Amino acid sequence: MDRHVWQGWLQFNGEECSIFAQLEFPVPEAMYRQIREAVDAGKRLTACAFYPELEEMLIDSFNTDRYEDDSDRPQPEDYDEDEYQEALEAYEADHQTFYDRFGLMEAAVYDPAEEREFRARFKGRRSPVLAASSENTYSFEMLDDADRAAETHLMVEHDANGVITDIRDIRTESLECESVKSSSWSNAHPHYDDLAAALEKELKIEG
């Protein structure tokens, strides 16, 4: 029996930092068929009746273990039995779990229609900035909004007249807590509306 998976992104915000996770998660065969039917029809997954359940599957697939610091958790060998139970109860009363320290900011299931609509928004439109370039590709970078420390990169392809022929290699990375003690860059969900506004402004898109 084939195993069907889909993917998505999660963002959790805490007092000191944020966490971003790009995940693959299993979906039932019947739902996978519904997803494929919607994608093939060019329909947004967010417009489908099954989307809330799909989003819940994404959230449930997140494993918090790597972000939990239980180094000071009492160990049985260090206590008498009665003392251990008391120490464990005291620890659990004071210990903050992942969801005590972080709240879910965004859950975004991968939606092919979202990127397709973004690319179609620019294809065939002219930019004087691109027309003045001697290259046929343009590298664009956007620093993200206040909700996250993120960078989005993409490549714009265009002809000699500055007319956009395609947009490719869209990639968003955000600075996150890698664990309880370190940080790194991680893949994040592109915010296409913000990205479109920034790209139109920089390239002075016509039409």
Laid out side by side, the sheet with 164-177 consists of 137-143, 150-158, 164-177, 183-187
Provide mean pLDDT across the span 179-203.
83
Rounded CA separation 58/108 (Å): 8
pLDDT score at 181: 54
Residue 171 near residue 155, CB atoms below 8 Å: no
Report the chain's mean pLDDT, rounded to a whole number: 88
pLDDT score at 83: 85
Q: Is the pLDDT of residue 111 over 70?
A: yes
Q: Is the pLDDT of residue 196 over 90?
A: yes
Provide mean pLDDT across the span 97-108.
89
Provide mean pLDDT across the span 186-203.
92
Q: Is the pLDDT of residue 106 over 60?
A: yes
pLDDT tens per residue across span 144-189: 765 667 889 999 999 999 999 999 999 998 877 654 455 677 888 9
Rounded CA separation 195/114 (Å): 12
Pick 190 or 147 by higher pLDDT: 190
Q: Is the pLDDT of residue 2 over 80?
A: no
pLDDT tens per residue across span 60-93: 999 887 777 677 777 888 888 778 888 777 777 7
Rounded (5°) CA angle 150-64-79: 140
